[in-house]
Amino acid sequence: MSTSLRVSPSVHGYHFDTAARKKAVGNIFEHIDQESLQRLFKNSGDKKAEERAKIIFSNDQDLEEKTRALMALKKRTKDKLFQFLKLRKYSIKVH
């Protein structure tokens, strides 16, 4: 029989100090420029860093449109990966 224990800081004598926490921000990219954001995405391995940064910094789209554009970008990347893997599968069978 296993019993689940609830892990919390108070169990170990620690308490959260929520007053010292930073306030939440609506736009996490508010104080960063497009070039820095692009570099951040690129350094994390994002092959679509430039396009992703442009979508985030576009002024002519509202939040919903940006969300749809980012989701479409993600889907296109997945579709291309599946196409590549499918192509490799067939090329291996042919040889």
- Higher pLDDT among residues 16 and 95, named by residue: 16
44-69 exposure pattern, b = at least 16 Cβ within 10 A, e = fewer: eebebbebbbebbbeeeeeeeeeeeb
Query: What pLDDT is attached to residue 75?
Result: 83
- pLDDT, average across residues 40-65: 88
Q: Contact at 8 Å (CB) between 48 and 70?
A: no
Query: What pLDDT is attached to residue 85?
Result: 73
**Does the predicted TM-score (pTM) go above 0.85?**
no
Query: What pLDDT is attached to residue 39?
Result: 93
- pLDDT, average across residues 80-93: 65
How far apart CA 31 and CA 12 sit, in angstroms, is 37
